[in-house]
Amino acid sequence: MRYFIELSYNGKAYHGWQNQPNAISVQEVLENALSTLLGESVAIVGAGRTDAGVHAKQIFAHFDTEQIVEKAQLVYKLNSFLPKDIAIHNVFKVKPDAHARFDAFSRSYLYRISLKKNAFNTEQAYFVKQQLDVEKMKEAAKILLNYKDFQCFSKVHTDVKTYNCDIKEAEFNIIEDELHFTIKADRFLRNMVRAIVGTLINIGVGKIEVTDMHQIIKSKNRGEAGYSVPAQGLYLTAVEYPDSIKIDD
């Protein structure tokens, strides 16, 4: 039987989601916990591969087992067993061919920019000292919706079949002393959101113009886009699936 796990994590202590040969990952910690509690070797597949230091407010993973899982009990045991920076929210049964990565039809990210120095959010947001022209950044963010090929924001030498992404939302909102950038798409390239935010900050501080965004995207050249902002401000906030993958029981 196949099950989905819904979880969240603080990514500070982890070298990303995916298993690494010489570094601790969220996937490894979760696989070890499941294997111990179920008494069998369990492999999990996640909805995405967040980079080192990136957080997830919502992410899903699937695993297979021959056992009939008492879902509420497994959630309780996992939360008791796992470290405090990983939280399990739900476990539910899905169809045998349901896939946590390939069946997701949208993913949403949040990037938090701190507009004032704050001693208590240095590990949750990115402090930008310069004054930002938020209106220009909002205008530039809208340009993203007019394009599909985002190779210019992708980490170089990434093994992908296409650089096309369908961005459905991209907007800024001021929340108290922070500027929040939210973006939703069917898929994202490696390092894409952090490169987009770095480019938008360059526009906000006046290094480049709003209209330069068109040429940057058309160039398909990572060197033309802005810097990659730090990982601690980035959160995977939502992953959406069709209801048809679930099994009622």
Sorted by sequence, the CB contacts under 8 Å of residue 189 that are 6+ apart come out as: 150, 151, 153, 154, 155, 158, 160, 163, 165
- From CA 9, how far away is CA 101, in angstroms rounded? 18
51: which DSSP letter? P
Torsion of CA 195, 198, 199, 205, to 10 degrees: 180
HSE-CB at 36 with a 13 A cutoff on CA atoms is 11
Element (H, E) at 2: strand 2-9
Amino acid at 113: I
CB environment 137-174: b (16+ within 10 A), e (fewer) = bbbbbebbeeeeebbbbbeeeeeeeebebebeebebee
- The residues assigned a catalytic role are 51
- From CA 109, how far away is CA 102, in angstroms rounded? 18
The three-state DSSP-derived secondary structure of 223-235 is HHCCCCCCHHHEE
What's the distance, Cα to Cα, between the start and end of the chain in Å?
A: 12
- From CA 84, how far away is CA 76, in angstroms rounded? 13
Closest CA to 232 of 203, 202, 197: 197
